Each structure stands twice: as structure tokens, then as C-alpha cells.
Chains A and B, each alone.
Chain A
């Protein structure tokens, strides 16, 4: 036979199965388009040379891999579903005398057609949309959009290679599926009499247990660093539990409903409960996949949106003034005496004048902070060794003088020798004294006091546990501690138990570029001043908010964009799974509803039963996803703190909004696909 024959057969096969292949083709083309767009953005020159563009592109490059892997997995999954539905047709070819080699040829041509078509449409769409996305992203990081249109040929080439490989694998898998089944199986593979599932109580309870533990983990973890560690553990546990629960647990649940005779033997429940149970075993996996995808969408969009919206306040919190520098000292006395009469402020003001502005909104703050790990008795180990210290207990101890506290709070507290007041913004303080292992310093805790708002330290504090100790005779009391430089022999770099620093910040009237110029001048001055012999400043740092702004926006816009793109892909995947699920079930249920009509079920009954069944089955994944999201909330909000975002309210709002939008989209998909299902079921005549 000529090659043309198989090619024609393949083409006819695709055309005949439009209902199955069209969504597959569209998805495939979309994935290719998105792959190309992301690749294009990760390499496009106009973004690269923009301020913040580098951070943005680094993050987006990640997306190329994620999209690639996800597309491969998903196309693979979808195709094996298509093959399963078409086995009957192949069986027929086989009976009519086409050998399996011939069928492989048909499959080969089919793969070629699908690949070529989706590659063509996908790359064309990708090329057309790429400029739009580039402009959008440029706008997001506040850059200037240019309107040169360009095609990234290496992007197309890489997409062609990558998806070519995917389709080769998919083709091989399809051949394997056809090869290893005999004719009889092929002919009747869609209507093998399926057993009604047995309820697996053990599995159901195990699933519930895993889910419960994952939820417990998510809720109980207080510390962002452990949240990062346990996030993936919890996520994997939730995924496993979702699959187990939807596959086994739902059967158990339906069996329970069946046991309740008065509930079960009611017109509205009878059919839906039994058919739900009947198909849950098979479709539980599909539902679980939908649920996981929805959860991923919820988590991704809500968190990245929140980060993006919160960029400005995040920036302001990290950099409370337009220009901020911080100088570090070796001793408290030196620090205080230097600050009292330092040349820096005057000189900085002069530099500002020279630039035609002045220091406004001046901020000047001193801080003494020790960090380490703490145990339950209040012993602080300043240099924790990684192996035996759990991250949970990492702590920042800030020292504050009683004078300062009294001044700021307007109180008149008193302390004796060796005593301290304590406060903590988020840690539990349940020890009666706090001592420092390496230095031997020890403070008896006289009581807890109200915190003084200390904005600039806030972000830092959320990262780890924190306490603030208010002590008298400030520099006397900390004498030992300030001398602990390099006390830990294992540390090759100098480290001290106590970090003493003075932070100075101010605003100006300058535009961003001038501001950055000013910052560089101040830097040069500080560099010169601090390297002087008599200057006690050990080192310093300086930041201009405008310089950081670009990076912040670059990073968070990158996250946001990637989050949207990934979520879009996940959404398409979820919709496709739903669509195929409805089609399969529609075909499957046709004869069932014919029988029920013969036995006396009215059209109205059918509609009702379908509705109740679909509503449950359909909104189950959504409800589950929302539940997952609710429990992930505390954990994700801690992760966001690591990115400097502390506005829980904002996150709550974006989460609620995202959930609402997704639920709406889901409802629309439900309406459309359920009418497809209903048409399938009611299309056949009753004889």
C-alpha cells in the first residue's frame, strides 16, 4: 500500500473525531505559543537592558522549563486518553486486515499532522502575541516600550525540537498501547464491563490522616524559614492525600450514603449516588488532578498578585527613606560618641546642597542586635552549628536602653542590676531569664512591656523569632558581648555576637536619576571618611530606593507575569480534563439513561439527577481546592514574608478575589461542558 493511504486514513481519523481532537490541537498550539512567548521574553534584548530587566528575565527563564515539563506531561496524559477512546476504531482496522504495523503508520501520520498543525498555529500565535506581552511587561517594570517587531528564530527552533520530542514520545506510547493489546480488547476496550468499586476504608482513613497532618503542618508552622522547608513536604502530602481521598475516600463516602436507606432510596439521590460511586474510582484521578491544578492556580495567582501589588509598600518598608546608609561599629561607646558629634551628617547635607536639594524627613536610629538560636529555657547560642539546631528556634535579640524606652513610651520604669524588661512582636516568651551561652551574659526578666513600633526592623523580625530586651546601664551591661568578635573558631570570617549600627536616612526632591547620582556621591564621601585612621566606623552600606525599585519591580513583575502564564496553562489543562471527562461520561451514560427512560424516568428526572450529580462531582474539586488554599494561607503568607511582604490583609484580599474569579470561570466551564454532556446523553433515541 502507498504511504498516501495511511496519511489519508490518519487525516480522516482526526476529522471524524473532531470532538476529541480539536481541544487537543488547541491546547497543544496554546502550549507551544506560550512556550515561545516565554522563551522570547526571557531572551529579548529590549528587556535585558532595562533597569530591573535582568532580574525579570532570570525569573522568566525558570518558566521556560516549567512550561516545557508541564506541557510534556499533560500532552502525554491527554493523548493516552485519546488513544483509549479510539482503540475500537483501530481494532476494526485490525479485523478488516490491517496489521499492527499499519496501525502504527496511521498513528505516525496522526502524530505528524497534530505536531505540524499545532506547531504552525502555535508559533504563529506566539509570534503575534509576543510583542504584546513584551510591551505589557515593560510597562509593569515602568520602562519605555519600543515598537520594533522581531521574531526569535531560535525560540521557534527550540520549541520545534522540544515539542517534536514530546510528540515522538507520545507516538511511541500510542504504538505501545496498540501493540500490547489483542484485537478483542481493542474492539471492546471502551465498554469492558467494569466492576462496581469496593469501598477501601483503610485507604480512605489513611488519606484523611495524611491530609490532616499536612493541614496541621501548614497551620502550625510559625517560622518562615521552616515554612519554606515544609512547604514542599506539605504540598506533596496534600497532593497524595487528594488523590487517595478522591479515588478511595469518595467511594467510602458514597457507600456510607448508600447505607442510609432512607436517604439512598429517594428519587433524587438514587441514581446520582450510585453512578457517582461507580465512576469515582476511575474519575477520582481526574477530579483530583483538577483539584490540584485549581489549588496551584489559587496559590500562584493570589501570592504573585499580592507580591506585585505590594511591591511599593514592600519597597518602602525595606527602604524607609530615599537614601539610607548604615554604619557599623565595634563598641557601643564608640558608636555613641561618634554619633553625638559626627562629621557625616553635615557633609551629607553639603553634598545635597551642591545637588540643589536638601535632606528632608531625616531618620536616624541606633540598633544593637544579637542573633542566634534559643532553647526553651532561654539560653541563646549565638553561633549555632547547623546540625543540631532546628531552624525553628532562630532568634534576633535586640537591645534597647531603659532611657530610650522610657523616653519613647513616656513611662518611668526602673531596673536593678542584671534585670531586663522584654517584649516580642511575635514569639512566645515563657522563660524567666535569658542568657547567652558564649559570652555568659545573663538577664533576669522582670516583666513584659508594650512594644515600641520600630518600623525599620519589622521585615527582619518577621523572618525569625524576635525579642527586645530593655536594659539599664546600656554599654556597661553589654561590655562582654561587644567584645565577642570571632568568638566562634569555626567561622572563618569575622562575626560578632552583637551588631552595633547607626542608620541614617533622608528624602530629597530629586528625580530618580539625580537621586542615584547623589547616592553615588554620598557613597564616595563615606568611603573616603570611613577609611580614615581615626574613624571608628568599621564598614557601611548605602542604598538608594530608586535603584532598588527597578529590581523590586523587575522581580515581582516577573513573578506576577510567570504566575499568570502558569496559571493560564494550568487552567487550560483543568478545562481540558473536565471536557474530556464530560465527553467520556456522556458516551458512557447514553445507554444508561435510555434504560432509565424505558423503566419510567421522565426527562425532568434525568435533568435533575444529572444536575445533582454534576454539581457534586464538579464542585467537589473546587471546594477541595478552596479548602487547600485556606489551609495553605498561613504557610504561604509566611513565605511571602521572606520576600518582605508583611501585609497579611492584602494577601487575604488577593486570595479571596482570586478564589472568586476562579470559581466564576469554573462555573462558566461547568455550564458549557454540562450542556455538552446533556446533549450527548439525551441525543439518542430510545430504540
Chain B
């Protein structure tokens, strides 16, 4: 059994007046194995964010099923969804989403506090993670006092401090410069090597080339996928670029 199973997911957005509706996802199927590092690519408007929101249980699919560890999302009670998300999923967002009223430390603690942890335990969890992410000296600072890259690392720390089964990231490098992007990608690789499953939506070929598998989405469906296998990042980069070109031309499926 795979860690994450996405089966026939379809999402139709109804516009307010009930007039036209947008079919953001038509029929999405894929699995993610434990310890995998998957990147999702696709043109703007192809439904990536929609898919990720569904995987994050922030949104419900119109039809189809999503299972984590064999557990069906749709079976989770509405009131338990937030709790489920907190305990099983970690998020990194493009715009960091740190709370400006909290110091970085408190931002990272937030999910643990919500889960009702004790302060001593939280601290024990934070210390190694902060060291690994290189933000030990920044913990007392507030978001407006640190750079974008540092903010994103704090956001990663917040995402992984709960030991989530899967880390979801929506264009995590989108707001970063190339140096900060490289640092973040290295970081993702490190935590992935340590066993963390990662699913990342990205526009950046460079970011995608660090993943172990890339899914391409087009017209609301998984159009194609590439495995990195034994290839180097450079070779994989080339393969991804070729696929994207093909995709843009509207090439044949698989």
C-alpha cells in the first residue's frame, strides 16, 4: 500500500451565480510511496494549487478519493479535519505564511501548541531542527526582521516539527532569489534523505530536477511522469525541459 493514493479526483468550481463552472481537475490518479520526493509541474491554471489544496484537506474534491496511509480523507469528520491536517501533514507556502505577531520560534511552535504539547517537549523538538535548518540564532526574531530565505526556512521548520507523514509545498521557491532557492532545495534534499516524504508544486525546472519523480499536469489530468532514477540532476533537468517543451506544443500523451 502506498503512503498517498489519489484516485480519480475531479474538482469543479461553481461560480457564484451558478452560471458557468470551471473544471479545474478532470481525473487525477497517482500514488506517492513513503520516502519519495515528488514534484508536480504544469502550466499556470492547470490545477496544481487546486490539487494541493485537496491533498491538504483544505478543499474537498467534487468526486474521487484521497487516501493517506489507507485512510480516506472524505471519511474524516468536518470538525476533525484541522486536527488531522495538523497531525499528519506539513505545509510550506510560496508566501511563507508566517504570523507577524509571533517570533520565529513561536511561529514554529504554533502547530505543537495547537496540538496541546508541553513547552519542554516542544523545545526538545525544536533545537535539532533549528540547528539543521541553520536558524538557531534567529529564533527570537520576528518575521519582519529576517530575509525571505530565512522566513522560508522557519516555515519549513514549522512544517516538519510535527513529524508529518508528508510535506506539501506550493511553489516554495517562488518568492526566493537563486541563492536562497539553492539553499532551500538542498534542505529539502537533506530532509528527504532523512526519510521525509515530500510533494512539491513548482514552476521551476531546476527545483523539479532535484526531485525523484516529476508529475506533469495538463487539462486537469496527470499528463506524464518522469523518474529520476540513476540520472544526475543535470540530465534530469534536460529531460524535464524537453517534456515541458513537448507539453507546450500540446504533444501526444505518453
Contact = CB atoms under 8 A, between A and B. Distances in A.
Mostly, the A contact residues are: helix
B2 to A, nearest CB: 24
Interface in A559-605: 592, 595-605
B76 interface: no
Nearest to A602: B82
A51 B86 CA distance: 76
B142 A600 contact: no
Given A262-B119, A597-B82, A601-B82, A196 B101 contact: yes
Interface stretch (B40-48, B104-112, B177-185): B104-112
Given A195-B142, A605-B82, A598 B97 contact: yes
Interface string A660-674: 000000000000000
B119 A278 contact: no
A603 B82 CA distance: 8
A270 B93 CA distance: 22
Interface string B103-144: 100100111011111110010000000000000000000111
Interface string B157-198: 010000000000000000000000000000000000000000
Given A265-B109, A687-B59, A600 B119 contact: no
Given A196-B101, A595-B99, A687-B53, A265 B79 contact: no
Contacts of B83: 600, 602
Interface residues of B, number: 37
A602 B106 CA distance: 18
Nearest to B59: A687
A599 B160 CA distance: 11
B85 interface: yes
B114 A605 contact: yes
B102 interface: yes
A686 B111 CA distance: 17
B100 interface: yes
Contact of B111 (A193, A262, A265, A599): A599
Contacts of B82: 597, 600-603, 605
Contacts of B109: 265, 270
A596 B116 contact: no
A267 interface: yes
A264 B103 CA distance: 13
Contacts of A687: 49, 53, 58-59
Nearest to A279: B101
A193 B58 contact: no
A602 B101 contact: no
A266 B97 contact: no
Contacts of B101: 196, 274-275, 277-279, 592
B110 to A, nearest CB: 5
Contacts of A265: 109, 113, 117-119, 122
B236 interface: no
B170 to A, nearest CB: 10
B49 A599 contact: no
A532 interface: no
Contacts of B100: 193-194, 196, 278
A261 interface: yes
Contacts of A592: 99, 101
Q: Give the interface centre of B53, B99, B144 by most chain A CB atoms within 10 Å.
A: B99
A278 B106 CA distance: 13
Given A193-B144, A599-B158, A605-B82, A267 B116 contact: yes
B119 A261 contact: yes
A603 B79 CA distance: 8
B37 interface: no
A600 B114 contact: yes
Contacts of B114: 267, 270, 596, 599-601, 605
Q: Give the interface centre of A592, A603, A686, A687 by most chain B CB atoms within 10 Å.
A: A687
A601 B99 CA distance: 13
A270 B113 contact: yes
B216 interface: no
B94 to A, nearest CB: 12
Nearest 4 A/B pairs, CB to CB:
A600-B86, A278-B101, A602-B82, A193-B144
Interface of A: 193-196, 261-262, 264-267, 270, 274-275, 277-279, 592, 595-605, 686-687
19 contacts: A196-B101, A196-B142, A262-B118, A264-B119, A267-B116, A270-B110, A270-B114, A274-B101, A274-B102, A275-B101, A595-B97, A595-B98, A598-B85, A598-B97, A599-B158, A602-B81, A604-B79, A686-B58, A687-B58
Interface of B: 49, 53, 56, 58-59, 79, 81-83, 85-87, 91, 93, 97-103, 106, 109-111, 113-119, 122, 142-144, 158
Given A195-B142, A261-B119, A262-B119, 17 more contacts: A193-B144, A265-B109, A265-B113, A267-B113, A270-B114, A274-B99, A274-B101, A278-B101, A279-B101, A598-B97, A599-B86, A599-B97, A599-B111, A600-B83, A604-B79, A605-B114, A687-B59
